[in-house]
Structure 1
Amino acid sequence: MPPITAPSSAPAGAASGAWRGALQGTPLFAALDLGTNNCRLLVASPSGPAGFRVLDSFSRIIRLGEGLSSTGALSDAAMDRAEAALEACGQKLARRPVQAVHAVATEACRRATNGRRFIQRAERAFGAPIRVIPAREEAELAMESCAPLFRPQDRRALLFDIGGGSTEIAWIRTDESERPRLIGTISVPLGVVTLVERDGAACFAGEGFDRVVEEVATRFEAFDSVHCIRQEMRAGGVRLMGTSGTVTTLAGIALDLPRYSRAAIDGHDLEMGCADRALEALRSMGREGLAAHPCIGPERVDFVLPGCAIYAAIRKVWPAAGLTVCDRGLREGLLLRAMRERRRPRRGG
């Protein structure tokens, strides 16, 4: 079972009770993911030998990378939106007895010419340091968050994370005696925000969608040629795993959920035929249908099909029999890493 023992949407009463427990001595940890499209926060306490209980959360679409692909810099409007979200996160932390805060920023801040200057502003708004992490660490954190979903029969896992400004692919050895090990990773500077800005309407047309699939697939082929992943898949024991809004949306459509449910989706094994049918259903909905769907909504309309095109490229290059859907990512990886370090015996003393 996944290590997260309470969903981030836990009722206020449950959360307040958990805070009372925290005040009695249970340490609290916070993790912030400042992404190209979203700002997300989790606050949690350790639960069991290798899990945690989510006590509070925050998620807001901020479109920090808006305009970045054309100007090379973060815009004033985007930075203002991010600052407002970070202030809201900081206010949450100020009310809680949080022992440690781990905050990271990803592709938008890596690429922007004014990224470093913005981070100083972001840290003032948030009230804690924010690290701009390299693509490899981003893949490592995604691997760490999804590791509890690996199965004993797995030899390898191919994990993808479709982000706002980039897509990370992690090739993982899972048959280690202790923790899984990252064999190799690739970060392609194409995500849902970059594709929308380049030509937002392209993925709503059949030919445009197919062009994006071909373009992205070409980027992945070079990675496959180095690691022979398709060959490993044919030999068996390789799990394809996805962590992003794209794959959780695919799962929501495939399961015909009346509304999004993390409990129903996280860790769900989606047979590839079901995923293919869900992809076709999404492509046929049009903007109005996507906006009206309870698993999508108007804020995400523009991003769904670009994400689906990236997913279709992954599906084309690596034709697995199924897909494990992961509703978890950098925040969960940061929390698990921090809690593991806390449990590690100290040398000396």
Structure 2
Amino acid sequence: MMRTAAIDCGTNSIRLLIADIDETGALTDVERLMRVVRLGEGVDATGRLSDAALARTFTAAEEYAELIVRHGSPAVRFVATSASRDAENREDFMSGIRARLGVDPEVISGAEEAALSFTGAVSVLGAAEDETVLVIDLGGGSTEFVAGDSSGVLASRSMDMGCVRFTERFLHGDPPTRAEISAMEAEVRSLIAVAAADVPLGTVTTLVGVAGSITTVTAHALKLTEYIPERIHGAVLSTAEVQAASADLLHSDRARRASLPYMHPGRVDVIGAGALIWKCIVEAVAEATQGRVGGATASEHDILDGIALSVARRGK
């Protein structure tokens, strides 16, 4: 048994997983936490990480550092994604993390982000030999498209569209106006077409979605009375159910979204954009497969699990 610590720092949230991993690669959670720090706030417009966003992120890193020590100081891997890739002052971020956690943060490429997301998702859901799984990791600044089978990743593409980036770029009304939604949807569909040139959607047999926007849409469709990971993980929604839940979230005003019992406070402002991106992807896969894939599976296991597993492999 090996204990590892994985930290995923994205555009919207920073998450920690401390886990025990056995000889078969099975992972058991010791701690799994998320703090919404909105590191990528304003990056799309300014190209810089703001002082306030850095301060929020460093506070969360200090909390995580204490937990890692409390649980025996296991090997740590800190992975940073879209917002850090885009920021011209990312060295300020990297030096601040190094000072607090004693590790060098890895600002990974979109391709590696996709591979880690795929590993994390299929580590629990699995993939049959004759199955091509498309994993969608819908983050705050980017969305990863990664197709693979039981042998591993076959193709991937990272696109600069995410719930924070596209909320800031397109959705300003409360609720968003029809014109704002139309403009965003046109851009999303254009970017899906670009991704599909590298990741052929028509070959997919199973669609899996990971990360908070997708699990929140799933919770909304299931009409949960609170956020229950066990109910969300592995839940299969039809295309029609995704469309209905996404449209309802997108057209709700902020007060109604905030009142939903499963809505994380840090996701209230950006869930509309996340829901619209997810709806468009599910529709695109259904169309490309001529209805063979008429829905999607939600996974609570994602890039964070992939990072933890990668630490274990390094330690062998």
TM-score (normalised: structure 2): 0.91
Matches within 5 A, 1:1-349: 26-47=1-22, 49-147=24-122, 148-152=124-128, 154-172=130-148, 174=149, 176=150, 179-180=151-152, 182-201=153-172, 204-230=176-202, 232-233=203-204, 238-319=205-286, 320-342=293-315
DSSP-derived class of the 1:117 partner: helix
Q: Distance in 2 between matches of 1:286 and 1:104?
A: 34
Aligned pair count?
A: 308
Distance 2:194 2:226 in 1: 38
Identity rate, percent:
29
| 8 Å Cα contact 1:136/1:185 also seen in 2 | yes
Q: Report the Cα distance in structure 2 between the residues aligned to 1:138 and 1:248, rounded to whole angstroms.
A: 19
Q: Give the letter for the 2:295 counterpart.
A: G
| Separation in structure 2 between the aligned mates of residue 291 and residue 159 of structure 1, nearest angstrom | 28
Give SS of 1:190's match.
Answer: coil
2-structure distance, mates of 1:121, 1:103: 13
Query: Compared with structure 1, are the counterparts of its residues 284 and 215 closer, same or farther at alpha carbon in structure 2 (3 Å cutoff)?
Result: closer
Query: C-alpha distance in 2, partners of 1:44/1:71?
Result: 37
Per-residue deviation at 1:153?
6.7
The one-letter code of the counterpart of 2:220 is I
Pairwise CA distance, 1:297: 4.3
What is the CA distance between 1:183 and its match in structure 2?
A: 2.0
Task: Indicate the SS of the match to 2:34.
Answer: strand
Tell me if structure 1 keeps the 8 A contact 2:158–2:195: no
Partners of 2:45 and 2:199 in 1: how far apart?
Answer: 33
Asked whether the equivalents of residues 167 and 187 of structure 1 are also in contact (C-alpha less than 8 Å), the reply is: yes
3-state SS of paired residue (2:237):
strand
Aligned partner of 2:214: which letter?
V
Q: Structure 1 residues 278, 48: closer, same or farther in 2, change over 3 A?
A: farther
**Superposed CA offset, 1:158-178 (max 9, x none):** 111111111111122x1x4xx
SS at match of 2:145: strand
More relative contact order in 1 or in 2 (CA 8 Å, sep 6+)? 2
Give how far 1:196 is off. 2.1
Deviation at 1:342, TM superposition (A): 4.3
Distance in 2 (CA, whole Å) between partners of 1:48 and 1:251 is 33
CA positional deviation for 1:251: 1.1
Change (3 A) 1:165 1:27: same
CA contact (8 A) 1:290 1:298 kept: no
Contact 1:290 1:297 in 2 (8 A): no
Distance apart, 1:244 and its partner CA: 1.6
CA apart distance, 1:262? 0.6
Structure 1 unaligned residues grouped into runs of 5+: 1-25, 344-349
- Write the distance in 2 (CA, Å) between the matches of 1:226 and 1:105: 24
Distance 1:210 1:200, change over 3 A: closer
SS in 2 for 1:56: strand
Larger mean Cα displacement after TM superposition, 188-197 or 275-284: 275-284
* Letter paired with 1:204: P
SS in 2 for 1:201: coil
